[in-house]
Amino acid sequence: MTELLNLNRLVYFTTVMETGSFTAAADRLGVAKAVVSHQIGKLEEELGATLLRRTTRRVTPTEEGRLFCDRAMIILREAEAAYGEISHGAVEPSGTLRLTASLDYGTQMVAPVMAAYLRTYPHMRIEAIFDDAVSNLVDEQIDLGIRVGWLTDSSNQARRLGTIRQTVVASPAFAANLPPNVSPRQARSLAWVGNAQLRGIGQWLFSRDGETVLTELNPVVMCDKSPAALACVLAGIGLGVFPDYSVSDDIAEGRLVPVFADWSLPTGGIHAVFPPARFRPAKVRAFVDLLASAEKKRSRGVAMA
């Protein structure tokens, strides 16, 4: 009969993989180096495979070791999630939180929440990926994804945190040269700055008092990242469509002005997205609660401390 899986041995092994040495792993875990070596030796004995090659100077994984590490990390994450959910609020967040968010939302909203999170839980660590590309949470072993707009992947679990309004803006100089009473009906004849990350959006639906206009835009510049598109609009190249959170400060300080202000575009959502799992670890729940609170303040126009 196969011996019951020993999760402690997985912790010793993955810690050696992360730190690159038995000594560093022992320091992180607060045990003697001999304990780490013994436990990994027992793990290799149980598996009937060599996971690590040891020399006097370094430790390197075998091919089997690399494959086993990937699986072991998933097992440990699931175990941590189960413990965190069962113990509910009794256990504080622990370990490292891996999260991803779009570049603009990450820098403007997620980063301040990270600061508040670390003030509350100073023993935590965060690995943040701010990128407009959508990460695969399972393949990249990410605990939490913050998605802005419209969800397309139904395989993940999600919690809605807030709402975004899309805003058409331009620099004051560019707006001053627009035709009087310009409306979305003239959108195709105007210069726009496009964002390549807004994949699949070929047409935009403007609405006002029951009236709708479906139109295509005419990008004279196409940018690969949202901050780059915003920089081009600020430079006066053309009109741009952005979520309200990314342009509110520029509008308030006069660097941008709203265009088509009496028209509206479809609203989108801000979602916390989780990889499929029966349980959610305390470190994730705590961060999502803080971000949800920050979103409520933003919706009321209250600056986050």
Token digits of residue 181: 């009473």
Q: Which residue has the tokens 């909203």?
A: 109
What type of residue sits at position 228? A
Please list the alpha-helical segments (H only) found in 87-235: 103-105, 111-120, 172-176, 226-234
| Contact of 164 with 229, CB cutoff 8 Å | no
Length of the chain: 305
Confidence (pLDDT) at 187: 92
* Burial class of residue 218, CB neighbours in 10 A (0-12, 13-18, 19+): middle
| Contact of 174 with 239, CB cutoff 8 Å | yes
Q: Tens of pLDDT along the chain (305 residues)?
A: 344 467 788 888 888 898 888 888 888 888 888 888 888 888 888 888 898 988 767 788 898 888 988 888 888 887 776 665 555 444 678 889 999 998 889 998 999 999 999 999 999 999 999 987 787 887 888 899 998 877 766 566 788 998 888 899 999 999 999 998 899 999 999 999 988 877 556 678 999 998 999 998 889 999 988 889 999 999 999 999 998 888 989 999 999 999 999 999 988 889 998 887 666 788 999 999 999 999 998 877 655 44
Q: How many CB atoms lie within 10 A of CB 43?
A: 21
Confidence (pLDDT) at 1: 32
pTM: 0.63
DSSP letter string over 180-203?
A: TT--GGGGGGS-EEEETTSTT---
Q: Tell me if residue 294 falls in helix, strand or coil.
A: helix
Indicate the helix (H) or strand (E) that contains 60.
strand 59-61
Return the closest-CA partner of residue 170 out of 55, 251, 69, 65.
251
* Burial class of residue 279, CB neighbours in 10 A (0-12, 13-18, 19+): middle
Token digits of residue 140: 């990249």
What does the alpha-carbon distance between residue 158 and residue 75 come to, in Å, rounded to a whole number? 22
What does the alpha-carbon distance between residue 54 and residue 10 come to, in Å, rounded to a whole number? 18
What type of residue sits at position 102? S
Q: Which residues contact 245 (CB under 8 A, 6 or more apart)?
A: 104, 105, 108, 109, 164, 298
For β-strands 96-101 and 125-130, DSSP reports them as parallel
Return the closest-CA partner of residue 3 out of 45, 35, 46.
46
Distances (CA, A) of 284 to 94, 143, 238: 10, 7, 40
Distance of CA 301 to the CA centre of its chain: 23
First to last CA, the chain: 57
Tally of CA atoms within 13 A in the half-sphere of 188 that contains its CB: 8
Confidence (pLDDT) at 133: 79
Return the closest-CA partner of residue 206 out of 174, 229, 182, 238.
182
